[in-house]
Amino acid sequence: MATPQKILLGITGGIAAYKTPELIRLLVKKGIAVQVVMTRTAEQFVTPVTLRSVSGERVLTADWNNQEDPFDHLNRTRGLAAALIAPATANFLGKLAHGVADDLLLTSVLALECPLFVAPSMNPRMYANPAVQDNIRILEGRGVHIIRPDEGEMACGDSGAGRLPSIGHLATVIEEAVGPTADLKGKRIIVTAGPTEEPIDAVRFISNRSSGRMGVAIAEAARDRGADVTLIHGPLSIPLPENITNISVRRAQEMMDELAARFGGCDMLVMAAAVSDFRPSVVYDSKMKKNEAGLSISLEQNPDILERLGKHKENRLIIGFAAETDNLLQNAREKLLRKNMDVICANDVGRGDIGFDNDYNEITLISRTREPLSLPRLPKRQLADRILDEAARLLSSPRAAASGQG
């Protein structure tokens, strides 16, 4: 892990404050030190003792008389990598937008010299109020990063936008803000991405809708965490990542050949490519004319890349994807076992708001060692880090190969 960086976590008096101990626990686990500053009303939902227990740091409260240093609002905000206010109430947003400094948290925030992230959380009707929205726009205009609330049912029974985003999402936002860890330094990782194309004739081919975004995001995330990354990709609709060994292929057999040549020298394979299952039995050198095409094209199976590599897995880590439209978890788990993988990322490609040719995805991580972990709809770059969190955990812990096949 990289040397821990420190953030400020400001907690205001919203009911979602009860979630903050878990947020602190996650951040500390990721190697990030957390300095908590809380308002007086926040203490009605979570105690300073609890927050100190999980952070290991002295908690700054609204009671100035109990502070060991009268300049805590200055000294404790120096050298921070980032600051997060979660939850941020309507009252806090209004005061911050207008430079009010009537408690220790607001005074501390005014002294910040690092990126500030604010996660509003309140009743949906309050959040929709024009005054609240105006304050958010003011803050955004000053460079404050607003983490938009989730939609759903609130504690009061109302539904709409106003829920504090998931703790996992907040932790990922802050982790990206302070910079990646180096938990994959020295690891040799192969990532595949994009579709393959199986030619029919000189101009036509069989393919799919994969853009390669997910695989490229994983390759970039692994690079940023210190890994030596090789990206083997089919035709992509996005730019190639920098400072990565990029190998371009077209057909499934070409991808199989490149992987077979490199698999023995890697520590981990992430198979994010959408490889064509079938290819035409006959490929025509010239363009087929309409009167020559007939009514059908004979197909044959492509090599099952993961199944073949899984038979020679040894102690390497293999992560794959299951793009399904029905029986998502069942089909994914069967694929995990059949192809001798350690982790499979199951996603529903029947939805239009995630998956193929989309900047977002929503997946369930299924592994052999613990219960499935459902990750919410997130940008693919954020999901990439969540996947690699699991990979880093497995790589750093003693484990046997999935099936002992060699």
DSSP 23-66: HHHHHHHTTEEEEEEE-TGGGGTS-HHHHHHHH-SPPB-S-GGG
Q: What is the pLDDT of residues 57-82, one digit of tens each?
A: 889 998 766 667 777 777 778 889 89
Give the pLDDT confidence score for residue 65 in this predicted structure: 62
What region does 367 belong to: left with phi over 0, alpha with psi -120 to 50, or beta?
beta
Q: What is the pLDDT of residues 103-138, one digit of tens each?
A: 999 999 999 988 999 999 999 999 999 999 999 999
Give the pLDDT confidence score for residue 23 in this predicted structure: 96
Tokens of 15: 């009911």
Query: Is the pTM value of this prediction over 0.85?
Result: no
When pLDDT is cut at 50, 70 and 90, the band that residue 193 belongs to is very high
Give the pLDDT confidence score for residue 293 in this predicted structure: 52
- Structural domains of the chain sorted by starting position, each given as residue range(s) with its CATH number in brackets: 5-178 (3.40.50.1950), 188-396 (3.40.50.10300)
Give the pLDDT confidence score for residue 66 in this predicted structure: 67
- Residue 303: pLDDT over 60: yes
Mean pLDDT of 156-166: 88
* From 114, 156, 266, 345, active-site residue: 156
Pairing outcome for strands 299-301 and 278-280? antiparallel
Give the pLDDT confidence score for residue 402 in this predicted structure: 44
Give the pLDDT confidence score for residue 404 in this predicted structure: 43
Mean confidence (pLDDT) of the chain: 88
Q: Is 156 a catalytic residue?
A: yes
Give the pLDDT confidence score for residue 2 in this predicted structure: 39
- Residue 401: pLDDT over 60: no
Q: What is the pLDDT of residues 350-389, one digit of tens each?
A: 776 776 767 888 899 999 888 898 887 777 887 898 899 8
Q: What is the pLDDT of residues 7-54, one digit of tens each?
A: 999 999 999 999 999 999 999 887 788 999 999 999 999 999 999 999
DSSP assignment of 94-134, as one string?
HHHHTT---SHHHHHHHT--S-EEEEE-S-HHHHHSHHHHH
Cα–Cα–Cα angle for 93, 12, 84, rounded to 5 degrees: 75
Give the pLDDT confidence score for residue 376 in this predicted structure: 79
- What letters, b where the CB count within 10 A reaches 16 and e where it falls short, cover 95-133? bbbeeeeebbbbbbbeebebbbbbbbbbbbeebeeeebe
